[in-house]
Amino acid sequence: MNKTYFISGIDTDCGKTMVTSLLARELHQQGIKVITQKMVQTGSSEIADDLREHRRITGIDLQEVDLDHTTCPYIFQFPASPHLAARMEQTSIDPEVISRSTTKLEENYELVLLEGAGGLMVPIQDELLTIDYLQKEGHPLILVSSSKLGSINHTLLSLEACLNRKIPVAALVYNHLPNENQFIAEESMQVLKRYLHNNSPETHWMECPEVNGADFPALGCSWMTASAPNTEQRR
């Protein structure tokens, strides 16, 4: 049955594109018909840069759904929040266009990995945040955290926001980059694991090690094909 996971991060540059790519690669190697989607791409043109990275790491060429912009219906050249990047080009983002693109992909793929832009509170429109869109669509969330200073605060705030809105958090991925202090990273992981144990025990814990060259690690995502909600029930 067709399913979609939404991948977001605790802020920009936390590693969600890498995590999305690694998940797609692993699922592809398991024989799952998987495709990635980019909600909105800013600071790019023609084909979304993040989609190119997804395909490179997955080990496949650009797909027809990339070339016809099904996988990324909104691409803006100005590198800013989606609502501002759209405004700079004298247009706006229609969330229904994104939703219809996801539905089209769900009809042809077993799993869709939908990567957001920035964090959960990033505006898509002046009056619409990414988390609003996620709540309405009902996609389970894969949240990417990181080892940089401040990540505990950003991660817990993101988790609290999702729990308060009853958004299912399927997994929390701890990205070991930038790996500046292993002692701090270990403590951060313990804090986040305790929080999940006490507040969201159904959330899977995952770790993304440092990626070196073409040595792409497996994140351990076999649970995704068994526990994802049925989109026919969700919509």
> Does residue 91 form part of some domain?
yes
Range of the domain at 21: 3-227
Residue 226, pLDDT score? 74
38 is catalytic: yes
> Does residue 157 form part of some domain?
yes
Q: Residue 178 CB: number of other CB atoms within 10 A?
A: 14
pLDDT at 184 over 60: yes
Q: Report yes or no on whether pTM surpasses 0.75.
A: yes
The catalytic position among 38, 104, 148, 166 is 38
> Does residue 69 form part of some domain?
yes
In total, how many domains does the chain have?
1
> Does residue 234 form part of some domain?
no
Assess contact for 189 and 177: CB atoms under 8 A: no
Residue 181, pLDDT score? 86
pLDDT tens track for 62-115: 999 999 999 999 999 999 999 999 999 999 999 999 999 999 999 999 999 999
**Cα gap 32→30, rounded to integer Å:** 6
Across the range 197-212, mean pLDDT stands at 94
Q: Mean pLDDT, the chain, as a whole number?
A: 93
- The CATH number of residue 70's host domain is 3.40.50.300
Across the range 210-232, mean pLDDT stands at 76
pLDDT at 229 over 50: no
> Does residue 235 form part of some domain?
no
> Does residue 233 form part of some domain?
no
pLDDT at 57 over 70: yes
- The structure tokens listed for 139 are 């996609």
> Does residue 28 form part of some domain?
yes
pLDDT at 196 over 80: yes
Q: How far is CA 67 from CA 18, 31, 52, 114, in A?
A: 21, 23, 11, 17
> Does residue 232 form part of some domain?
no
pLDDT tens track for 152-177: 999 999 999 999 999 999 999 999 98
Residues pairing with 123 in the sheet: 129
